Amino acid sequence: MRLKLQNCIRKDGKLSFFFKWIKQHLRVKRFYGTSLNAVKTQIWIAISTYVLIAIMKKELKLSQSLYTILQILSVTIFEKTPIFQLLSNVKEQNENYTFSNTMSLFDL
């Protein structure tokens, strides 16, 4: 009985770690279905997307974080811009961005 209890606690710890990782890394706000199949399908889709983005980041040698790449792709999902160009333009835009309409504190 004691071994069964220890195994259940160990499995429960792994399961809670898995769901904590999902909440931290995947973009699953809520589950759209209530059946076991719907939840499994949504988790597999989220994991597959995460892995594909990680592979893309490695292959294209991108410096942005996976979170940043996912944010950019979620905003520009229907644009017809190549992904590499899209992600390299973000870096250039951040470097060239100036605050032209703000007043400087020391230019009085």
**Helix-strand-coil split of the chain, %, nearest 5:** 70, 0, 30
- pLDDT value at 1 more than 70: no
| CA angle, residues 24, 85, 28, in degrees to nearest 5 | 20
pLDDT at 103: 58
User: Among 9-13, 29-33, 45-49, 81-85, which is the least confidently predicted range?
Assistant: 9-13
Query: Whole-structure pTM over 0.75, yes or no?
Result: no
Reported as a single tens digit per residue, the pLDDT across 12-46 is 677 777 777 777 777 777 888 888 898 889 888 88
Reported as a single tens digit per residue, the pLDDT across 72-81 is 888 888 888 8
* Other C-beta atoms lying within 10 Å of the C-beta of residue 54: 12
- pLDDT value at 63 more than 80: yes
Long-range Cβ pairs for the range 23-30 (8 Å, 24+):
25/50, 25/66, 26/50, 27/70, 27/74
Residue 45, token pair as written in the block? 């889709």
